[in-house]
Structure 1
């Protein structure tokens, strides 16, 4: 499935404060997921296998490391957990890095909210304006993202330009 996506990620010290603020909108709570994202060595973009209780997917995405909200080109393959998939990918590409996180997932309309505690990195919120059926333009997704950036009263200095994988790799060096 090809997905149009516009997103931002912010490092926060008090994740509960932002979650309480979101709850005022009465979003749809999906649950708490313990996710292991295994990133593989690829020539272009990023390829990760997400293994969780709620979300299991092979995700290929391309996104520039820019501060603030940014677009992503995403191809998502949702699947039932099967260790053979990880074995094949590991054998063919090699593991680049593993990201271990606990993620609370909420939806409000087409907006997905993540409240993440990432092992070795800390607390983050991530907001994704998602279009899976060509309903929104990239400009509309961008506007939605900015709306929630302002709703949470975040500043540019809170935003993270890199993926969790890059941040974990940076910590390892």
Structure 2
């Protein structure tokens, strides 16, 4: 499945206040997922295997590391959990880094909200305006993202330009 999305990620203090703010909009709650994202040494873009209680997928994406809302081009392959896929990827590409997180997932129409607790990094709000059917223009996706940035009253300094994997890799490099 090919997907375009516009997204932003912000470091937040206390998931509860953002969740209460979100609940005022009557989103659809999908559930809380414990996700292990294993990133591989891909020659191009990012490649991760997501293993969760709700979401399981092999995900390839290209995205610039920009602060604020940014476009991602995603190829998503949903699968049933099977250790053989992970074993093949590890043998062929090697593990780059593993991200362990607890994610509360909500939707309003095509917009997905993640309230994340990431091991070793802290708490985050991620908003993705998703187009998996070619119904939205890039401008419309960006407008949706910007609307929620304003709704949550976030500041530029809260925004994270990198993926969790990059933040963890930086942290590992800084550790003696």
TM-score, scaled to structure 2: 0.98
Structure 1 unaligned residues grouped into runs of 5+ = none
Please state if 1:124 is matched with 2:107.
Answer: no
Structure 2 unaligned residues grouped into runs of 5+ = none
SS of the counterpart of 2:153?
Answer: coil
Between the two proteins, the alignment pairs up a number of residues equal to: 173
SS of the counterpart of 1:148?
Answer: helix
SS of the counterpart of 1:26?
Answer: coil
Cα distance between partner residues in 1 of 2:48 and 2:169: 14
Runs of 4+ in 1 over 3 A off after TM superposition: none
Q: How big is the shift at 1:43?
A: 1.2
- The two structures, once aligned, show a CA RMSD in angstroms of 0.4
* 1:119-146 deviations in Å (ceiling 9; x for gaps): 0000000000001111100110000000
Cα distance between partner residues in 2 of 1:79 and 1:130: 20
Structure 1 residues 1-173: aligned runs within 5 Å: 1-173=1-173
SS of the counterpart of 2:67?
Answer: coil
Cα distance between partner residues in 2 of 1:5 and 1:77: 16
Cα distance between partner residues in 2 of 1:35 and 1:17: 22
